[in-house]
Every structure is written in C-alpha cells, then in structure tokens.
Amino acid sequence: MSPSNRARGCLITVEGIDGAGKSTQVEHLATLLAARGLRTLTTREPGATSLGRELRRLLLARELALASDAELFLFLADRAEHVATVIAPALAAGAVVLCDRFADSTIAYQGHGRGRDLARVRRWSDESSAGIAPDLTLLLDCPIALGAERRRHENDRYEILDSSFHERVRAGFLVEAAAAPQRIRRIDASRPLAEVSAEVARVTLAWLDARGYSAAPASASA
Ligand code: TYD
C-alpha cells in the first residue's frame, strides 16, 4: 500500500437484506480489529449523527408518507452529514472505518427495491458521499425467508414491505456484487453464526493484511 493510502485509513462496509445478521457481524469485527491494535471506528446508516437520528426516525416511521424522491434524498442527507462529520475525518486520521450499511443499501433498496432509475440513484448517491466510497464491502447474503425469521421486530417502513420487495433488494445486492467482485465479497449468511463470523474475519483480515493494515499503525495508539 502506498504511504498516501495508508495515511487515509479505509472504509469497510457491511451490507445485506434486513435480518441477514449485519449488526452482529459488525460488532464481532470491531472487537477483532481492536484486538489487533487497529484504530477502528464503528458506525452505521441511517442514524449515526444528531441529524441522522432525526432522519432515521422519519425514514423508518411507516405512518409517515414519503414520496419516493423524498425518501431517497433523506437517506442521502443522512449520508452527506455522516460522511462530512464522521467518516471523512476518521479516514483522514488513518482509522479503519466499519460502517453498517452505506451506498450499496441505497442502490439496492431505493434503486433495485423501489424500481427507480439506477443511473440516477447512483449519480445522486455519489454526490452525497463527496467522493468517499467503500474500499471493501462484505455482503451478507441469505434467503429472504431466513432474514424474515431472524428479524426481531417487523414494524418499520421496510420490514413491513412484502417479500417481492425484499427479493428485489437481495437480487440487487447480488447484481452489484457481480459487477464489482474485487470490492464486494459475498458471504453466505445462511450458515451457522460461528461459520459466518469465521469467514467475515478471514476475508477482512486477509484484505487488511494485503494492504499493510495488520500491524498497528502509528496513529493507532494516538
Ligand atoms: P438498519 O438500521 O440496518 O435496519 P435494522 O434496524 O433492521 O438493523 O436499516 C434501516 C432500514 O433502512 C433498512 O430496512 C434498510 C433501509 N435503508 C435504505 O432503504 N436505504 C439506505 O440507503 C440505507 C442506508 C438503509
């Protein structure tokens, strides 16, 4: 890895349908990376900032009607604030940023799921993240019936949508993964938790090792 990239840190995102087990894997990875002495920032979308928490409430409230572009732009406002105030400063400080959902969720849910024009969603999504894109994405993939079983509650705007919506989202993630195989690694999340965690760890640590992130960077102790 070049010294300039090394100074920048890296952005690792975890993606998947509702109930795929992202949050558990993000927690597990954060613990693993911290144990390696890597300076790690764990965050999520939507809702990681003060503005984001307000937007998350509006976005998930099923009783609040949202026009499709209003929904899209609220997610992108959440991202713009998140990138500007949390992600970009952490990357500049050399941290490994671990983010539970990012731009691929917008492409999968608002693009493939809602059936909106993909090129347009992609263009606006790129605008909102100010040139910051994931370096590595772990796609936790499982059948939607399994995701539905694993969900603890079923009452937000997305969880109550029918299975055909979630099928389109899952298929959308897989299309995106096929188009960017170097960045997006599909992980079969239908297996027992220990197996999924082991593969998440193996893929991530190999990726970090290959880029010189395994030894604690000088900034890790700062
Ligand atoms: P999340 O917090 O991951 O859901 P959960 O509470 O089930 O862990 O995300 C909330 C919902 O927002 C989820 O159904 C996916 C949706 N979402 C989008 O539709 N577009 C986006 O750009 C993002 C980031 C999330």
170-180 pLDDT, tens digit each: 999 999 999 99
Ligand 1 pocket check for 124: Cβ under 6 Å:
no
Whether 217 maps to a domain, the answer reads no
Residue 139: inside a domain: yes
pLDDT for position 154: 67
Q: How far is the CA of 15 from the centre of ligand 1 (A)?
A: 10
Q: Is the pLDDT of residue 5 over 60?
A: no
Establish if 221 belongs to a structural domain.
no
210 or 218, which is more confident: 210
Domain containing 97: what range? Answer: 3-210
DSSP state of 212: T
Q: What is the pLDDT of residue 32?
A: 95
Q: Residue 214's pLDDT is what?
A: 63
Interacting residues of 88 by C-beta distance below 8 A, sequence separation 6+:
130, 132
The answer to whether residue 2 scores a pLDDT higher than 70 is no
Task: Write down the H helix ranges in the chain.
Answer: 3-8, 22-35, 50-60, 68-82, 88-92, 103-105, 118-128, 144-150, 163-179, 193-210
Residue 186 lies in a domain: yes
Q: Is 137 a domain residue?
A: yes
Q: Do the domain assignments include residue 63?
A: yes
Mean pLDDT across the stretch 127-144? 97
Predicted TM-score (pTM) of this structure: 0.93
Atom of ligand 1 nearest to the CA of 157: 14
165 lines ligand 1 (CB under 6 A): no
C-beta 106 within 6 A of ligand 1:
yes
Tell me if 65 is assigned to some domain.
Answer: yes
If one counts the domains in the chain, the total is 1
Q: pLDDT for 171-216, tens place per residue?
A: 999 999 999 999 999 999 999 999 999 999 999 999 999 998 865 5
The verdict on the CB of residue 109 being under 6 Å from ligand 1 is yes
For residues 131-169, b (16+ Cβ closer than 10 Å) or e, as one string?
ebebbbbbbbbbebeebeeeeeeeeeebbebeeebbebb
Distance 105 CA to ligand 1 centre (A): 7
- Whether the pLDDT of residue 218 is over 50: the answer is no
* Spacing, Cα 46 to ligand 1 middle (Å): 6
Asked whether residue 104 is assigned to any structural domain, the reply reads: yes
